Structures are given as C-alpha cells and as structure tokens.
Amino acid sequence: MTSSIDLPFSFQHMSLPGGVRSAMLRNPAKIALRHREREVSYAQLMDAIDRVCAGLLNDLGMTHGQHAAIVSANSIEYLEVVLGASQAGIGTATINPRLSVREIVAIADDARAKVLFVDEPSAAALANANFATVDHVLTIGTDYAPWRDSNAPLKRLPTVEEWDTFTIPYTSGTTGQPKGVLVPHRSRVISLYAMAVEYGCFGPDDRFLAIAPMCHGAGMIFALAPVFFGGYAEIMDKFDPEAVVRKFKEEHITGFFGVPTHFHAIFGLDQQVLDANRSETLHTIISNAAPLPQVMKEKIIGHFGQILHETYGSTEASIVSNLRPADQLRKTACVGQAFPGTQIEIRRADGSQCEPEEIGELFSTSSCLFNGYWQKPEQTAEAFQEGWVTVGDLAKKDADGHLYIVDRIKDMVISGGINVYPREVEEILMQHPEINDAAVIGVPDEKWGERLKAFIVKATGSALSDDDIIKFCDGRISGLKTPREYVFIEQLPRNASGKVLKTELRTR
C-alpha cells in the first residue's frame, strides 16, 4: 500500500477482529453469541479467534495473503474461523453449503484455498471430492474444536492492514462463472458504523437475531454487527418462522434482519401464534436481498409497528441505500436514500446523469467498496469506473432523491434472498442431449420473491419432460438454481445479433 503521507508509527488499521477485541476489553464476561445450547462470552470468543489465528499460521504453516474456505451452516464456529483467519491476514472464501459438490470444489479451487472448514453434513457430501489446492480439512463438530484448542494464542499478533481481505464471498457473473468478491476489513468496518447510525439497533444493550446464511455478504455483516459493538447476537442455522417469533418475545430481541421469504413464512403463521408472541423490545426490522412487496410491508407495519427499514446494496458496494420507517407507506416500491457516507448516481449509457424519473444504470461510491474480483481484472475494471461501482442494476430517482430499482441489466434472479444467474443455469441445461436451446428468466413469486422459469427447445422427436430435466440437473447444479417450471417452445426469440430477447419471454 502506498500513501502520500507518512503514517504515524502507532497507526492502527481498522479490522473486524480488532473491533471484537475492543468490545471484549470493555466487558469480557458478557455473553456475545448463542447458537442452540452453546453460548460464549466475549473473552471466550476472542480466545477462540486468537487460537484459530495461531493454528493457521503456526500449525498449518499458512502465510499472510493466502486463502481459506468454509462450507457450513451458521454457527459460532463460523465466526471464529472467519475472524481468526482474517486476524492472520488470511481471507476466507465463504461457500454456500447448498451448492453441489462440483460447484463447491470449483469455488475452493478458484480461491486457491489451502484449508477447508466444513460442518458435518458438508464433510459427508465432500468425502470423495478432489480439491486442487486444499491441504487440510477440519470438520466443525468433530476435529475442529480439538485443533483450535491445541493452539496457544500468539504473543504478538501479525500486522493486518485495513485493505487486506476479510472474506471472499462468491457471486456468479454473466459468463456463468462464479466471481470471488474481495471484501476488505475497511469496507465492512465502515459499513458497520454506518449501519449503527442508520438502524439504531447495534449498541451494547441491543440483542440481535441472526438467521441469514453467513456465506452471503448480508448474513455475515448482520451477524457481526452486534458483537462488533459489544451487544448480543443469537444465531440460527435453520429458519423456523414460529421459532423466530417466539425468540422475539422470549429472548427480548431488539433487532432482526430478514429477506422477503422470511416475512412471507412469518405471516403464514396462525394469527394466534403471532399475537401470543408480540414483542415489547423489538424496535428494528431490516429487509434486504430482494424487493419487499408493498402488501408485505403493510403486513409488517400493521403487526410490528413502524420499525421497518428496507435496504438496497450489493456484495461489491456494501449497503447503498435505505428506506426508513417513516417513509415505508409513503414511498411505494422504493429503497430510500443514500446511506451515510455514500453517493449515488443514475447514469445514461454515455455516462451523463439521468434526470428525475429517468431510468439508467445505478452507480455508487463510498468508503465501503470491495477491492475487486479475485483474479478477474477485466470484470473488476468493468465494475469500477473512476471510483464508482456498478453491478448492472437499472434504477431511477424521484424528485426527492429517493431511489427505485427497476431491473437488472444482467438478468440476475433473486429467489428467497439468494442470487441466481440464469446464464449459469442455461449452460447446465444445454448439456442435456435432448435440449437444443434454453433460456431462463425470473418471474414474480409471492413466497420467494422470484422463481426460475425455463424456456426449452427440445431436440426433434424428444419426449423430454419437466421431471426428466430436474433429474438431469441433480448433482450438476444445486437445487436452489434448478428451475421447477418449464415451457417447451419451437424456438427462442432472438435479435439480429443472436441474443435472446428475454423481455419478450417475460411478456409471454
């Protein structure tokens, strides 16, 4: 890292484990995290982080700048691994355990992970997997804890700069190949401070319920925020709507992050269950990852009161905008105004700024941006434009400067809060010998936000059915990316250059 000024000798870089350590020093005995029956104090959490850090460097011989990977459901150990690795200068690729074995291996290999942490179900699924770079596999629930505890904390911590990689969540691109998003400490630390200001639910006295998968950017940051500021977080590894509303009341939860699918399930409960578990402490609900239907906003506000925030962001740009509680019923289909410290522009194709209500490509800039895509300089250059970042979303602003997401240039589909990229699915479908052509789009779904719909051109004489295609996809691509709805057509509509006209398919 180069600088135009001389930094003081005692300069302290921002880091996620550094923030947790500060919280620990204020109140070592306070309970920081709970998952199922296990709970840990700040002192115990920091001790585990220090031991993971030492184990990676001393026992496994890893060095600053190398990568680890984790394939696991949510747990306290998940945070121990990620924080401990980042304290050693080792970025962790956070891989979705719901992916197929083929996809997991491809991502771990792409990240050049030297060590793989897995939970027991993932360990069983990956038992015969052949990784190119992984030298060590540690299973959470069996050999991880003995390994962790056998390593004495370092007497002197390594120097980790705030631009160093914290995590590497993977997101697919238009080519269908996953891209590793290099998320630095600096980005997430500044994001946390902005979140604490904007949401008002991350103080030392707050109690947050963390249910979103930590393998995704939002799940990770919303689980980390409470402990970074000295509060409490209860972790859930599986979503159960009735268990969630009971915890709101019984555990005196003050804040909760969810995606539209979660809220759909919560309001699918019997009204008596909802009424019996009304919470007097819950004062912040945050929704992200997919558009929240206006009718669902009205249900949330009707039951919980005016405590809803709807946030827009991306793994690359972090949190970009937020619609605050007072505006939820006033601004329809809106994602609010720019987050503290963030600037937003809507641009035309020539780079000029759009007028109010004019649709263009969304760009944002802040101190919370990513460092680039791992080993993908061309895609990184495409995302960055003179300090501004775009992920290809179409949007507009109204006369008040409020932001509205209109569409996704790259046709990304968000189903149940999970990003799915049609091109990747289409490439798998095209591997079937009886499929001549295929296109996948997202269509509205009340429960999932969106669902995948595939248009298939069959080979002449083929009797291919929906079930045949679903069985073919099994093992080649994860279930969450497998379309469940198929339309068989004679040919796909294309323009003169051969590109599929997905707008026409959506109209159909």
* pLDDT tens profile 302-350: 999 999 999 999 999 999 999 999 999 999 889 999 999 999 999 998 9
**Of 59, 112, 106, 115, nearest in space to 82 by CA:** 115
Instruction: Please give the share of the chain, as a percent, with pLDDT higher than 90.
Output: 73
Last residue of a domain, one of 408, 424, 441: 408
Burial class (CB within 10 angstroms; exposed 0-12, middle 13-18, buried 19+) of 425: buried
Last residue of a domain, one of 408, 429, 448: 408
- The angle subtended at Cα 310 by Cα 307 and Cα 311, nearest 5°, is 130
The answer on 128 and 270 residing in a single domain is: no
Asked whether residue 206 is assigned to any structural domain, the reply reads no
The answer on 470 and 326 residing in a single domain is: no
For position 496, which CATH number holds?
Answer: 3.30.300.30
The answer on 289 and 358 residing in a single domain is: yes
pLDDT tens-digit profile of 433-449? 899 888 999 988 888 88
In the predicted model, is pLDDT for residue 294 greater than 80?
no
Domain region containing 338: 239-408
In the predicted model, is pLDDT for residue 173 greater than 50?
no
Asked whether residue 473 is assigned to any structural domain, the reply reads yes
pLDDT tens-digit profile of 50-59? 999 999 999 9
Please give the structure tokens belonging to residue 293: 């239907």
The answer on 423 and 324 residing in a single domain is: no
Domain count, the chain: 3
Identity at 506, one-letter amino acid code: R
pLDDT tens-digit profile of 376-385? 999 999 999 8
Contact (CB, 8 A) for 329 and 297: yes
The answer on 258 and 147 residing in a single domain is: no
In the predicted model, is pLDDT for residue 491 greater than 50?
yes
The answer on 172 and 58 residing in a single domain is: yes
Last residue of a domain, one of 143, 171, 187: 187
Identity at 302, one-letter amino acid code: G
Asked whether residue 457 is assigned to any structural domain, the reply reads yes
Query: Which of 30-39, 105-114, 298-307, 411-420 is least confident?
Result: 411-420
Burial class (CB within 10 angstroms; exposed 0-12, middle 13-18, buried 19+) of 360: buried
For position 346, which CATH number holds?
Answer: 3.40.50.12780
Q: What is the mean pLDDT of residues 476-486?
A: 89
Instruction: Please give the share of the chain, as a percent, with pLDDT higher than 70.
Output: 95
Taking the model in full, what pTM does it have? 0.82
Residue 411 is predicted with a pLDDT of 72
The answer on 373 and 441 residing in a single domain is: no
The answer on 296 and 176 residing in a single domain is: no
pLDDT tens-digit profile of 126-163? 999 999 999 999 999 999 999 999 999 999 999 999 99
CA atoms lying within 13 Å on the CB side of residue 180: 27
The answer on 445 and 306 residing in a single domain is: no
How high does pLDDT run on average in the chain? 91
The answer on 293 and 392 residing in a single domain is: yes
The answer on 482 and 388 residing in a single domain is: no
Reported confidence tier of residue 480, pLDDT bands at 50, 70, 90: confident
* Chain position carrying tokens 């680039």: 372
SS3 20: helix
Residue 136 is predicted with a pLDDT of 97
The answer on 276 and 249 residing in a single domain is: yes
